[in-house]
Amino acid sequence: MKKSVYFDVFDRPGWPSPDELQHYFLAPPGQRWTFVEGESASWGLDAEGVDGTEHLPANKGRIDIHLTMVGHPDHGVLLQYRKWGGGRKDTYYSKGDLTRLNDLAWTHQGSLMPIGLFIPFDRAWLAVKEFIETDGALSKSIDWIADADIPDEVFPDPALVSRIARAIFAHIKRNRPSYVPKT
């Protein structure tokens, strides 16, 4: 199995140890994620060729796992777990307050994500730590919701979101220039 990471300063083969990641989740608010303009608040851990399929090419039987983490300073962390390949297309999201599935939050990258899929940083940490310690198994320490159980309309069309974001920023720029983010 080939492991890789894209997480803040970690952009390398292999996964960081739990000790290297813990402070991103358990530090005091404002210190958990690096929210620096132009940097990502969406990170991930990947494993290619799990379950003995490392010798197979992508889309030819190899099974890959991806754990994507989207941080939000007010709502916590949205986790997406995907295990695809070898006839599988399993996708799960962290299960937060599902009564807020239709409430959306802007992410640092300018995407809209359902607030009902965000969980507190400390709970997300349990899932990420377990993922690392079990070589990519779906964590049992949090509740998950299958992608198939989430209504399609919960995730806005990215092209529409992009047009809406541009319109909002143009409106703000015209009416309140001091609020426009620097690009």
- Summarised one tens digit per residue, pLDDT across range 27-43 is 887 777 644 444 446 78
Task: Inform me whether the pLDDT recorded for 56 exceeds 50.
Answer: yes
Task: Inform me whether the pLDDT recorded for 5 exceeds 60.
Answer: yes
Residue 5 has φ and ψ, to the nearest 5°, of -140, 140
- Summarised one tens digit per residue, pLDDT across range 110-137 is 778 899 999 999 999 999 999 999 999 9
Q: Tell me which H or E stretch contains 127.
A: helix 121-133
Angle (CA) 142 124 152, round 5°: 70
Task: Inform me whether the pLDDT recorded for 96 exceeds 80.
Answer: yes
91 class by beta-carbon count within 10 Å (0-12 exposed, 13-18 middle, 19+ buried) = middle
E-state strands within the chain: 2-7, 10-13, 42-48, 64-72, 76-85, 88-94, 104-106, 112-114, 118-119, 144-146
What tokens does 118 get?
């965000």
- Summarised one tens digit per residue, pLDDT across range 60-89 is 999 999 999 988 888 999 999 999 999 999
Gap between the Cα atoms of 81 and 107, Å rounded: 18
**pLDDT in the model for residue 9:** 78
Nearest alpha-carbon partner for 113 in 77, 166, 167: 77
Task: Inform me whether the pLDDT recorded for 101 exceeds 90.
Answer: yes
